[in-house]
Amino acid sequence: MRLAAAALLLAAPATAQDLETLPMHYGCDRGARIEAVYVNGGMPALAILTLEGRMVVLSNVPSGSGAFYAEAPEGRAGYFWRTKGEEATLSWRAADGAETDLLDGCTALPQG
């Protein structure tokens, strides 16, 4: 709930009525878990992830297939999150463009 409230604040100037939030939980390789809230209706759409107790805000970036969210623009270091259907991967992109997968094999968990 705290994450969803933060998502609404970060998506300003769109009004809360204009925004749709979708909370998701993912189970990843090595038993890792990621909590995500997708915020749609603002420009850009956001994915707000909770990683090891830290909130990371990523903006939707055009991609050829699935959804791609980046913490920082191209040429700057930051996390990025790729989703396609129920599958997702968390990666890190260094300022020089080198990419490293941090959590692979993430799958959406049943909500409930």
- 72 inside domain: yes
Tens-digit pLDDT profile for residues 92-104: 999 998 999 999 9
pLDDT range class, residue 52, cuts 50, 70, 90: confident
Number of domains composing the chain = 1
- 18 inside domain: no
> In this model, does residue 8 exceed pLDDT 90?
no
Q: What is the pTM of this model?
A: 0.80
Q: How far apart are CA 95 and CA 104, in angstroms?
A: 21
Structural domain of residue 98, as residue ranges? 2-13+23-108
Q: Give the CATH number for residue 56.
A: 2.40.128.200
Give the pairing type, strands 87-93 and 54-61: unpaired
- 36 inside domain: yes
Mean per-residue pLDDT, 71-99: 93
- 94 inside domain: yes
Q: How far apart are CA 36 and CA 16, in angstroms?
A: 18
- 85 inside domain: yes
